[in-house]
Structure 1
Amino acid sequence: MDHKREMASATMKDVAESAGVSTATVSRALMSPEKVSALTRQKVEQAVLAVGYSPHALSRNLKRNESRTILVVVPDICDPFFAEVIQGIERTAAQHGYLVLLGDCAQQNQQEKTFINLIITKQIDGMLLLGSDLPFDASKEEQHNLPPMVMANEFAPELELPTVHIDNLTAAFEAVNYLLRLGHKHIACITGPENMPLCQYRLQGYIQALRRSGINVDSHAIIRGDFDFESGAQALDQLMNLSTPPTAIFCHNDIMAIGAMYQAKKIGLRIPQDLSIVGFDDIKISQYYDPPLTTVAQPRFQIGEQAMLLLLEQLNGNNVQSGSRLLDSELIVRGSTAAPKR
């Protein structure tokens, strides 16, 4: 009897027991996600995957062959940048009766089989990629057999997907140009991972701003970081040990900028009197740090919202052309930047 039960398909009751909620709550979370809290939805989503709940048990609309579920693939779920993007996705999805599953690409080796299984068993109707890569290997021909996909935050032309993002090159150019207008001549750059297209665009914006002002680009003043606090702090040490240390630093995200600010103060530098620092993203902590961080603000909620709306267009049978949908960014000037000392 127990063996037969193990072989049987998971039921809504199994999901409810795994999530620690009632079957009625499971039903609401799956069919009307806007009627339950985000925490409850997350518990139910995780339980669905944990017990292997069949897509046919999700009260699937058999006529249209829908699961009413989408998969959001996140490069690193611990990065606070993605919180508001995901919030924009979830709120828009809930308004249209869709459930959101989150997949963390930081654990891609372990997750790859799960992602593929969700597609093969038709447990998801579409995918939103918050990075520049598919979470599994697929040729261009094989991509045509995948569910509808939209990319948010990144732009990778080779994938030929509709994309929602900002103009990273121009945003970086304007941030560095602001430092130049303040009078800085020695401006360093702490970049993000080399394989990320947005980092390549931001680096080009930095280089173009310097060249436009007739300043030679010093490769030693460009340090590769990893979008975390530690790499920002380590890069600061390297830069301040140059024969001509920078008077200003442009960072590819706020996390590295805050790491650099922390390390600068640790070695006795005053910000912005001795060193100006600019970040990118305008995450919440940037306005509460000491001093508050000058940074490029991205409309993160709108990026998620617009990406979900694009995906809904495809799910409703409309033809959505690939290419870039640009949203506006804005340089927010705060206390971490000032003119250099004479």
Structure 2
Amino acid sequence: MAATIKDIAKKTGLGLATISKYLNGGNVLEENKIAIEEAIRILDFRVNEFARGLKTSKSKTIGVVIPELSNLFFTSIITIIEDILRQNGYGILVCDCRTDEKLEYEATEFLVNKMVDGIICMPVSRDGAHLKLPLSKGIPVVLIDRNVEGLNVDAVLVDNVSASEAAVEYLIDHGHREIGIICGPSDIFTSHQRQLGYTQAFVKKGIFPKQGLVKYGEYTVESGYESLKQLVMENEKLSAIFVTNYELTLGAIIAINELGIKVPEQLSLIGFDNMHLAQVVKPRLTIISQPIQKIAENVAHIMLKRLVQDKYDEAKIVNLSTELIIGESVLYKHI
């Protein structure tokens, strides 16, 4: 038979109020804390989180809605967030909405009905309609990677404009002018920001980017593969490509290998987001590296702070910088 709080009281000689206070995260005398923890260990006591949730209206669970569980960037961040939240007594419930706005709305509604204490989201919808329900119920929301205009919610972002600008400027400084870019969906905040940085890099250098060098697609290996082939076939003077996502980069590399294109002799390439891929590919890939650890830590700590606040103040927007890691996949092109 499972041990109860009364068994702990009998074992320690302490009152139920003191034990309950400790179990619910309150401060008790150090000697009482030691006695309770020892009794919990001996009795193999387990907190009934469901019953406690009904009593306190707190589930000690954070809901997470992401576009694709197969996306390495998303899963890497969620893994770190889960570690931090678990260390602070919270579990997570992850929903994959498959980059579908309807599924995203349903997933958010499901999490609200499960009485999650907070929601972490990488939004698919541009207007954030799915977030209005949790916000109306006072459930804190923290966004990752993508902001939603018009909503006063916390967000941890990467300076995608500067990231893209730095990559394209590097290519321009190496003599390239016919530079293609492979982006994610055109209506996604992140994708739009990276395309904007691409354009700004040309403008900054006093150059007008040529038409037909921007490809939009899904954040998938298949999309990267097809986009690379289209860019090469449609632009015979193409000398460099910047790929703006890990899965897209992987797909582009597969297409390059299949077409027998030599990097960087025939095509210079800058990829995105994975140091292991950069080191495995020959020649070593030049990439934009995102601060995954910092993104995850900021998201988790902002959420933890919101969970203990009595009132919601102005949204906290964190903008983190990326780093251009120089490899051997860009060749200097004499103009």
Taking structure 1 as the reference length, the TM-score comes to 0.76
Alignment of 1:79 with 2:36, yes or no, is: no
Instruction: Name structure 1 gaps, 5 residues minimum.
Output: 1-11, 13-30, 32-55
* Corresponding position of 2:251: 259
Equivalent residue for 2:143, pick from 133, 141, 151: 151
What SS does the aligned partner of 1:70 have?
A: strand
Is residue 179–residue 240 contact of structure 2 (8 Å, CA) maintained in 1? Answer: yes
Equivalent residue for 1:94, pick from 86, 94, 97: 86
- Output the amino acid matched with 1:208: Q
The structure with the largest alpha-carbon Rg is 2
CA positional deviation for 1:113: 4.1
Q: Could you tell which deviates more after superposition, 208-217 or 137-146?
A: 137-146
Alignment of 1:286 with 2:278, yes or no, is: yes
Is residue 60–residue 68 contact of structure 1 (8 Å, CA) maintained in 2? Answer: no
Q: Could you tell which deviates more after superposition, 287-296 or 326-335?
A: 287-296
Q: 2:134 & 2:92 partners in 1: Cα distance?
A: 24
Alignment of 1:205 with 2:197, yes or no, is: yes
Equivalent residue for 1:125, pick from 117, 123, 142: 117
Equivalent residue for 1:334, pick from 315, 327, 331: 327
Is residue 164–residue 307 contact of structure 1 (8 Å, CA) maintained in 2? Answer: yes
- Output the amino acid matched with 1:340: K
CA positional deviation for 1:203: 0.3
* Corresponding position of 1:19: none
What SS does the aligned partner of 2:92 have?
A: strand
CA positional deviation for 1:295: 1.2
* Corresponding position of 2:41: none
Taking structure 2 as the reference length, the TM-score comes to 0.78
The residue correspondences of 1:220-259 to structure 2 (distance < 5 A) are: 220-259=212-251
Q: 1:321 & 1:242 partners in 2: Cα distance?
A: 48
- Output the amino acid matched with 2:328: G
CA positional deviation for 1:83: 2.2
CA positional deviation for 1:95: 1.2
* Corresponding position of 1:23: none
Q: Could you tell which deviates more after superposition, 257-266 or 126-135?
A: 126-135
Is residue 89–residue 305 contact of structure 1 (8 Å, CA) maintained in 2? Answer: yes
Q: 1:165 & 1:139 partners in 2: Cα distance?
A: 18
Q: 1:149 & 1:134 partners in 2: Cα distance?
A: 16
- Output the amino acid matched with 1:333: I
Q: 1:297 & 1:170 partners in 2: Cα distance?
A: 12
Cα 1:310–1:186 shift into 2, 3 Å: same
**Alignment RMSD, CA only?**
2.8
Is residue 280–residue 296 contact of structure 1 (8 Å, CA) maintained in 2? Answer: yes
* Corresponding position of 1:193: 185
Is residue 288–residue 323 contact of structure 2 (8 Å, CA) maintained in 1? Answer: yes
Identity %: 29
Is residue 184–residue 340 contact of structure 1 (8 Å, CA) maintained in 2? Answer: yes
What SS does the aligned partner of 1:71 have?
A: strand
CA positional deviation for 1:146: 4.9
Cα 1:139–1:302 shift into 2, 3 Å: closer
Q: Could you tell which deviates more after superposition, 287-296 or 132-141?
A: 132-141
CA positional deviation for 1:175: 0.8
* Corresponding position of 1:103: 95
* CA offsets 1:293-320 (integer angstroms, 9 cap, x no match): 2111111122122111111111101545
Cα 1:121–1:90 shift into 2, 3 Å: closer
Alignment of 1:321 with 2:319, yes or no, is: no
Q: 2:198 & 2:99 partners in 1: Cα distance?
A: 31
Q: 2:50 & 2:88 partners in 1: Cα distance?
A: 17
Equivalent residue for 1:174, pick from 158, 166, 172: 166
Instruction: Name structure 2 gaps, 5 residues minimum.
Output: 3-22, 24-47
CA positional deviation for 1:338: 2.0
Q: 1:259 & 1:282 partners in 2: Cα distance?
A: 13
Cα 1:97–1:142 shift into 2, 3 Å: closer
What SS does the aligned partner of 2:182 have?
A: strand
Q: Could you tell which deviates more after superposition, 292-301 or 313-322?
A: 313-322
What SS does the aligned partner of 2:98 have?
A: helix
- Output the amino acid matched with 1:179: L
CA positional deviation for 1:264: 1.9
Is residue 153–residue 164 contact of structure 1 (8 Å, CA) maintained in 2? Answer: yes
- Output the amino acid matched with 2:152: E
Is residue 88–residue 303 contact of structure 1 (8 Å, CA) maintained in 2? Answer: no
